[in-house]
């Protein structure tokens, strides 16, 4: 069979490859000068990147530009996100070692040495065009790597300015600016695909299409999954506290976070009281007619209407044609019983719309959550409001999620919090449930190569009976040679 002729290159392909080659070469040159940096210098580099976006004036400038560019979210919350996530991530990173010996296990004769990976490509989303690039760059630099940011086209202007700020701060402490670079415009899937082929690691936050492309690049890749967080209000919950936390989490940055609550499952015995508490916390319960109006506006040809996602409540109330009372609301509640494509409210909405389910009891609520996750968001996370924290253990044991949060405002605990033991991140791994390579929050460890020094220890070889004994009893084996 004759060998097929090679496919002709697309117009501009040679130029694209040259551009990417030069970009990666600059990264490699910068990383080579940083690869042997001390822990002190490495940590100062991380501080510099954090300050590039934490500084109040720049945080505001980037928040304003992000909302102007993308039309997603709101300025006050984006300022909080940039500063809170950056500060929390800096706290986490400064408490760990990433240079030289990072762990010694004398009992097992193992010493671990951290080494850089090289050049990292960080694919970032339009929902966080400022915070996510810095978050990933801080982790990459903690590992003494260089990083190339591949931004969303929609958020390019914000990400470009963010990268400019990071580069300037690196130069101020005597480090090469090219430790952090950005993919040059025009930002296309082809350009992102090409740069992913030439580096040591790809880390993707954003669309599942981008995640799949990263995994197909031939380069080691870490992708994260889609959210669709369901939370339970159990009958023993403090309803006022639960409603306040759900409201604060739901409305933060107009629900751009993958950790934002999308559904609330309420036990029947407290249903009416919980709804009242949610209304007092800013929710508006829509009628069946209003629910139909929202569905017609929020989905166009089966897909979320990009003109309405992550918009302010007043804009949504007008677009949905809701009553005047709704125009004072912070978010909108719709009652639902179904799950799946025929019930679009059961999926992620990226908007100030919260789906409400009624469950007979906790067991039924748990199964409702399982059903929602099986439709969308499996592996990501779920939440529970209760006075019986043991029920959280039940959810963690039985549901296919990486994170179960008990009595949290989900958005403020899932990606790390000052009252949460999870590390700060803007990228949440969802395990094999969403075909992700990690089942934890993205953190600095994912940006390190580890060398293991192994030295002899006293022999640890148990007797055969110790290991095979329970099996031998079951199969009536006498313990002799087979």
In this prediction, residue 13 has a pLDDT band, given cuts at 50, 70 and 90, of confident
pLDDT of residue 6: 40
- Which residue of the set 258, 286, 382, 430 is catalytic? 258
pLDDT value at 308 more than 50: yes
- Of 467, 231, 207, the C-alpha closest to 350 is 207
In this prediction, residue 14 has a pLDDT band, given cuts at 50, 70 and 90, of confident
pLDDT value at 12 more than 80: no
- 276-285 pLDDT tens trace: 999 999 999 9
pLDDT value at 191 more than 80: yes
pLDDT of residue 240: 98
pLDDT value at 1 more than 50: no
- 231-290 pLDDT tens trace: 999 999 999 999 999 999 999 999 999 999 999 999 999 999 999 999 999 999 999 999
Q: Which two tokens stand for residue 274?
A: 């919980």
pLDDT value at 469 more than 70: yes
pLDDT of residue 209: 87
pLDDT of residue 361: 98
- 367-423 pLDDT tens trace: 999 999 999 999 999 999 999 999 999 999 999 999 999 999 999 999 999 999 999
In this prediction, residue 481 has a pLDDT band, given cuts at 50, 70 and 90, of low
Placement of tokens 């976006």 in the chain: 53
pLDDT value at 148 more than 50: yes
Three-class SS state of 202: strand
Q: What is the mean pLDDT of the chain?
A: 95
pLDDT of residue 4: 39
**CA 163, CA 157: separation in Å to the nearest integer?**
10
Overall average pLDDT of the 24-35 stretch: 98
- Of 258, 26, 69, the C-alpha closest to 159 is 69
pLDDT value at 340 more than 50: yes
pLDDT of residue 208: 84
Overall average pLDDT of the 434-446 stretch: 95
pLDDT of residue 482: 53
Q: Which architecture does CATH list for 18-224+442-451?
A: 3-Layer(aba) Sandwich (3.40)
Overall average pLDDT of the 313-325 stretch: 95
pLDDT of residue 478: 83
Q: Are the CB atoms for 326 and 316 separated by under 8 Å?
A: no
pLDDT value at 2 more than 80: no
Sorted by sequence, the CB contacts under 8 Å of residue 1 that are 6+ apart come out as none
**CA 250, CA 248: separation in Å to the nearest integer?**
6
Pairwise pLDDT comparison (405 vs 12), residue with the higher score: 405
Q: Is 286 a catalytic residue?
A: no
pLDDT of residue 37: 98
- The two beta strands, 100-105 and 146-150, are unpaired
* Residue 20: C-alpha distances to residues 27, 164, 193, 201, 209 (Å): 11, 19, 10, 15, 21
Q: Give 261's strand partners.
A: 229
Question: What is the length of the chain?
Answer: 482
Please name the fold of domain 229-415: Aldehyde Dehydrogenase; Chain A, domain 2 (3.40.309)
pLDDT of residue 403: 98
Sorted by sequence, the CB contacts under 8 Å of residue 121 that are 6+ apart come out as 147, 148, 150, 192, 195, 196, 199, 201, 202, 203, 219
Sorted by where each begins, the domain ranges of the chain are 18-224+442-451, 229-415
pLDDT value at 67 more than 90: yes
Q: What is the DSSP letter of 476?
A: T
């Amino acid at each position: 069979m004759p060998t097929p002729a090679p496919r002709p290159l697309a117009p501009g392909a040679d130029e694209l490859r040259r551009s990417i080659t030069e970009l990666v070469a600059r990264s490699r040159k910068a990383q080579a000068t940083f690869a042997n940096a001390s822990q002190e210098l490495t940590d100062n580099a991380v501080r510099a990147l954090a300050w590039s976006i934490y500084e109040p004036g720049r945080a505001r400038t980037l928040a304003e530009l992000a909302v102007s560019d993308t039309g997603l979210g709101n300025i006050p919350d984006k300022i909080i996100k940039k500063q809170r996530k950056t500060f929390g991530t800096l706290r986490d990173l400064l408490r760990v070692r990433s240079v030289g010996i990072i762990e010694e296990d004398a009992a097992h004769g193992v010493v671990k040495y951290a080494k850089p990976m090289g050049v990292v490509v960080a694919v970032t989303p339009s929902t966080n065009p400022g915070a996510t690039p810095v978050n990933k760059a801080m982790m990459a630099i903690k590992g003494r790597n260089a990083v190339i940011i591949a931004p969303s086209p929609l958020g390019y202007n914000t990400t470009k300015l963010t990268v400019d700020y990071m580069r300037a701060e690196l130069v101020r402490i005597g480090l090469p600016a090219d430790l952090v670079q950005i993919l040059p415009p025009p930002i296309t899937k082809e350009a992102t695909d090409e740069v992913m082929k030439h580096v040591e690691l790809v880390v993707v936050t954003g669309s599942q299409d981008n995640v799949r492309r990263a995994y197909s690049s031939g380069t080691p890749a870490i992708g994260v999954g889609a959210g669709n967080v369901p939370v339970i209000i159990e009958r023993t919950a403090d309803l006022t506290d639960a409603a306040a936390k759900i409201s604060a989490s739901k409305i933060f940055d107009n629900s751009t976070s993958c950790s934002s609550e999308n559904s609330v499952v309420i036990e029947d015995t407290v249903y009416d009281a919980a709804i009242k508490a949610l209304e007092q916390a800013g929710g508006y319960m829509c009628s069946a007619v209003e629910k139909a109006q929202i569905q017609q506006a929020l989905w166009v040809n089966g897909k979320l209407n990009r003109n309405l996602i992550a918009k302010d409540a007043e804009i949504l109330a007008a677009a949905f044609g809701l009553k005047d009372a709704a125009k004072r609301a912070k978010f909108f509640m719709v009652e639902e019983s179904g799950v799946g494509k025929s019930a679009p409210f059961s999926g992620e909405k990226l908007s100030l719309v919260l789906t409400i389910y009624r469950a007979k009891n906790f067991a039924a609520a748990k199964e409702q959550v399982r059903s929602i996750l099986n439709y969308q968001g499996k592996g990501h996370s779920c939440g529970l409001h209760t006075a019986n924290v043991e029920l959280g253990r039940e959810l963690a044991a039985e549901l296919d999620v990486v994170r179960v949060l008990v009595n949290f405002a989900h958005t403020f605990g899932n990606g790390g919090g000052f009252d949460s033991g999870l590390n700060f991140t803007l990228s949440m791994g969802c395990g094999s449930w969403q075909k992700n390579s990690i089942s934890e929050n993205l953190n600095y460890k994912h940006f390190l190569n580890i060398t293991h020094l192994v030295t002899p220890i006293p022999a640890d070889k148990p007797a055969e009976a110790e290991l095979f004994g329970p099996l031998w009893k079951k199969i009536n084996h006498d313990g002799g040679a087979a």
